[in-house]
Amino acid sequence: MSLVNFAAREITCKIVYYGPGRSGKTTNLQYIFGRVPESRRGRMVSLATHTDRTLFFDFLPLDLGSISGFATKFQLYTVPGQSYYASTRKLVLQGADGVVFVADSQARRLDDNLESLQDLQTNLLTQNIDIRQLPVVFQYNKQDLPGDLILSPPELDDALNFREVQSFSADALHGGGVFETLKGISELVLRRLAAAEPTA
């Protein structure tokens, strides 16, 4: 849940990048880390295995600057995609203000995407959160691969995006769609905050 500090006029939001293993969640954060000036970001923390698979999470704090008089900060997290790490995924998801579902566009990974999406819904439900009430965007990553290996964004929308939320075509390795995705989820999360009943 967003933390609003009225005394210091600060807002802090937690955004979680979710999706199957090797879909490009960590790559999204690495690209953002590489592009954002040092003064506006903290160090990127990766709790990873010796083979660089995410073990617990990656974490990147971002300072967005002032929005409507509030110093706005985002905490970007990724979850480990491999099914083995189900328990840690649940922990990272706790208190999320928004989710970016990073799908692997390769046709052979469709079942993995569906399984991960189902896992997301289940984990949210254990925290009494209905996925329909949470800001979520889809990112269809690896769209730069040859056309015969991947599904197109409309095909992926049909297969995964039942709620018809915003979706973004991406090539996270080279940065394509990374910025647009972050912008999309940021708008949804902050719009929800603006629409919320006045509270502390």
Partner 1 sequence: MRTVEPWVTEPLERFLAESSARLTLLMTSAGQVVAQHGFTRSVDVMTAAALGAAIMASTGEIAKLVGESNFLSLAHQGAKQHVFLSAFETPRGRWIGLVVFDAESTVGLVQLFFERLVKELAAAAPKQVPEQQVLPENFERELNASLRALFGR
- Where does this chain bind partner 1 (CB under 8 A)? 1, 3-8, 10-12, 14, 35-37, 40-43, 45, 47, 56-57, 59, 61-68, 70, 72-73, 75, 77, 87-88, 91-92, 94-96, 179, 182-183, 186-187, 190-191, 193-196, 198-200
Q: Nearer to partner 1 by C-beta: 149 or 196?
A: 196
Which amino acid, residue 106?
A: Q
Contact 55, 86 (CB under 8 A): no
Q: Name the minimum Å distance from CB 88 to partner 1.
A: 7
Q: Nearer to partner 1 by C-beta: 25 or 41?
A: 41
Q: Nearer to partner 1 by C-beta: 131 or 150?
A: 131
Q: How far apart are CA 29 and CA 55, in angstroms?
A: 15
Q: Give the count of beta carbons closer than 10 Å to the beta carbon of residue 139.
A: 30
Contact 110, 150 (CB under 8 A): no
Hey, is 4 helix, strand or coil?
strand
Q: Name the minimum Å distance from CB 118 to partner 1.
A: 21
Q: Name the minimum Å distance from CB 149 to partner 1.
A: 29
Q: Nearer to partner 1 by C-beta: 102 or 190?
A: 190
Give the bridge partners for 16, in sequence order.
77, 99
Q: Name the minimum Å distance from CB 189 to partner 1.
A: 10
Q: How far apart are CA 150 and CA 140, in angstroms?
A: 10
Q: Nearer to partner 1 by C-beta: 56 or 150?
A: 56
Q: Name the minimum Å distance from CB 29 to partner 1.
A: 13
State how far the alpha carbon of 115 is from the alpha carbons of 17, 126, 135, 177, in Å.
16, 17, 20, 23
Q: Name the minimum Å distance from CB 100 to partner 1.
A: 14
- Of 160, 124, 13, 121, residue with least CA distance to 77: 13
Q: Nearer to partner 1 by C-beta: 21 or 61?
A: 61
